[in-house]
Amino acid sequence: MRRTLEDRRLMRSRAQRAYVNRRKQAFRALEATVASSTQEIARLEGRRYILQSMLARSVTMNESQFVRLMHEYVRMFENGFKRRDAVAASSQERFLRSIMSEDLAFHGHRSLDTFIRIFQQYSSTHLSFTIRFVSCSVVMDDDDSCLTATLQTVVTQRMTRQSLAVYFPHVLQDEALVQVLIGRSLAIPQTSVFWFTSDGQIAQYSATMALVPTFLTLLQSLELTNFLLETRQLDRAPTE
């Protein structure tokens, strides 16, 4: 049976509607896919941000732990080793033994006992010894372990004939210079570097004092400053 013109028009109309419906369904499916992908991207971006924040907080926390340790070190020895206070001295020694290796390397020595002895001697020969925290920078490795902590402090101490005899013995031959130095308070910038093991123990230590600018300011003479510091022992560990 031959189809009439009306039948053909009706079939075309139905086919067109079906095509439009298929296009609409495909577009809605595409919209749903895009929306789902956008939501997943947002979720992943949020997850990435959270992980980055967690990592940043972890590194910051680790760094702050070592900075707090340096703060505690300065607080503990703010007035040097308190040898006349047996309880305080014992607490200070326990503190050092808790954070430093027994074979601590420093200025040519390798012994925590020697470090403690020298620290005690230094404190006992300087009156009005104080140490003030200035800043601390920490270097971390890829495993978030501390490699080094660089501590900036200012050491204040008053010069006496005893301290001159220990650290600047050659100066005693110049009584005029001795009289200039005795009783003077020095504020000496000091840089201390602490090297840490993977388990957080201090394995190595070094310290340098800005003696030249300090004494140059005090004496107002490059010649006297050079003479004073030519055989200095103030920033060097004495031999055994």
**For residue 231, what pLDDT is reported?**
67
Considering only CA atoms, which of 220, 16, 238 is closest in space to residue 122?
A: 238
Say if residue 63's pLDDT is above 80: no
pLDDT of the residue at 93 = 92
pLDDT band at 65 (very low <50, low <70, confident <90, very high): confident
Q: Look at residue 52 and tell me whether its pLDDT is greater than 80.
A: no
* C-alpha to C-alpha distance for 119 and 77, rounded to whole angstroms: 10
Which alpha helices (DSSP H) does the chain contain, by range? 5-76, 86-99, 112-124, 161-167, 175-181, 211-219, 222-229
pLDDT in tens, 75-123: 999 998 887 888 898 899 999 999 999 999 999 999 999 999 999 888 8
Alpha-carbon span 18 to 13, nearest angstrom = 9
Check residue 153 and give its pLDDT. Answer: 97
In the prediction, which pLDDT does 141 show? 76
> Collapsing DSSP states into helix, strand and coil, what is residue 200?
coil
Q: Is 96 helix (H, G, I), strand (E, B) or coil?
A: helix
Q: Name the residue ranges covered by the structural domains of the chain.
A: 1-58, 64-230
Q: Name the pTM for this structure.
A: 0.67
Domain 64-230 architecture: Roll (3.10)
Dump pLDDT digits (tens) for 115-144: 999 998 888 877 688 999 999 998 887 766
Distance CA 32, CA 208 (A): 67
Is residue 56 scored above 50 in pLDDT? Answer: no
